[in-house]
Amino acid sequence: MMGVIQQLREQAKKLLEEKKVDLVIGFGQGTELARTTPVFIDSPEGVSALTWGPFCANNLAKYLIDYKNAPGNVAVVVKGCDSRSVIRLLDDNQISRDKVVIIGVPCAGQLEWQKVAAEVKPGAGLKETADNGESFSVKTDAGDYSFNKKDYMLHRCLVCENPNPVISDITVGKELPVKNYEERFAEVSELEQMSTEEKSAYWDKQFSRCLRCYACRNVCSVCTCQVCVFDQMLPMWVSKRTNLSENTVFHITRAFHVAGRCVDCGECDRVCPMDIPLRKLNQLSPLGEFKPEDPEEFM
């Protein structure tokens, strides 16, 4: 991945030196080997903080909203899934196209940091990563590792149909082959086979574990309301109590709010501390299509 990192830094430096942008939002090495952190670079000297590899799971697109009214332009580093979020933000008039420079990086998948951290020697420093097709190799100052994609990658990456960004001004790295996955919505189809009572019991079990930390909402590039209904106090739409009934209201309301707009970036699912499978809830658009055979009589 060193070639891509170098190219990223060069492109970011050029944009800042030529004053085409005032800020570059990208990935930087985190405090742990298997994690990256967002970095906000405002000078050419700062570009050495940029990195790239299989630990760049975060979707940085949502940060663009913070700069929509700030003077100057912003560049953002995006993967294929993140690029769909940029389109969402543009379509929703959350950002202006001429204010953003999109640096797209073809992505061969992202590893689940928790699984990698469990294998790597604590305190090891990252030296290099490489994509070997079926696996990623990770070189550290405490030894070298190989992580099979099938077992260590995020689920959303195993069925990813946009490894290349769908929108970009600058592309860094080589375009990757695109695959289609029939099983992409397999879990949703499985849910659809259940009876109403079974579905209700399934989601009751999931929602009862929700902490209402709102991480899923905060990370979502579709949830861009200045004041979310769940933070509104007058009137208070949902109480602060975490119980099944209030949690269900939160999830059903949010599902309706993102219906037909969710880009299936998988971030809500990834950040949930309780492993609630939110992609199953938001993936398909309940209000996005009309079918003459719809069972609802009023339709």
Q: Is 272 in the site for ligand SF4 (CB under 6 A)?
A: yes
Assess contact for 20 and 70: CB atoms under 8 A: no
Q: Which of residues 154-213 bind ligand SF4 (CB under 6 A)?
A: 210-213
β-bridge partners, 74: 23, 100
Nearest one of 99, 32, 109 to 70, comparing CA atoms: 99
By residue count, the chain amounts to 299
Looking at the DSSP assignment, which residues form a beta bridge with residue 174? none
Regarding 265 and contact with ligand SF4 (CB under 6 A), the answer is yes
* Minimum distance from residue 24 beta carbon to ligand SF4 (Å): 23
**Window contacting ligand SF4 (CB under 6 A); options: 40-48, 114-122, 176-184, 218-226:** 218-226
Say if CB 275 and CB 290 are below 8 A apart.
no
4 binds ligand SF4 (CB under 6 A): no
Cα–Cα distances (Å) from 263 to 33, 151, 192, 230, in that order, read 29, 24, 20, 22
Looking at 143, 260, 273, 288, which residue binds ligand SF4 (CB under 6 A)? Answer: 273
Pick the stretch among 27-35, 94-102, 192-200, 250-258 that binds ligand SF4 (CB under 6 A).
250-258
267 is a contact residue toward ligand SF4 (CB under 6 A): yes
Query: Which of 117, 229, 244, 249 is the binder for ligand SF4 (CB under 6 A)?
Result: 229
Q: Tokens 């880009």 map to which residue?
A: 263
**Residue 148 class from Cβ within 10 Å (0-12 exposed, 13-18 middle, 19+ buried)?**
exposed
- Tokens representing residue 104 in the block: 């797209």
> What are the structure tokens assigned to 51, written together?
């990195």
Task: Check if the beta carbon of residue 138 is closer than 8 Å to that of residue 129.
Answer: yes
Task: Confirm or reject binding of residue 263 to ligand SF4 (CB under 6 A).
Answer: yes
List the one residue from 225, 245, 286, 294 that touches ligand SF4 (CB under 6 A).
Answer: 225
Q: 248 or 282, CB closer to ligand SF4?
A: 282
Q: Tell me if 215 contacts ligand SF4 by CB under 6 A.
A: yes
**In this complex, which beta carbon is closest to ligand SF4, that of residue 194 or of residue 274?**
274
Does residue 254 touch ligand SF4 according to CB under 6 A? yes
CA end-to-end span of the chain, whole Å?
A: 53
- Residue 1 as a binder of ligand SF4 (CB under 6 A): the answer is no
Q: Where along the sequence are the contacts to ligand SF4 (CB under 6 A)? A: 210-217, 219-223, 225, 228-230, 254, 257-258, 262-268, 271-274, 276, 278-279, 282
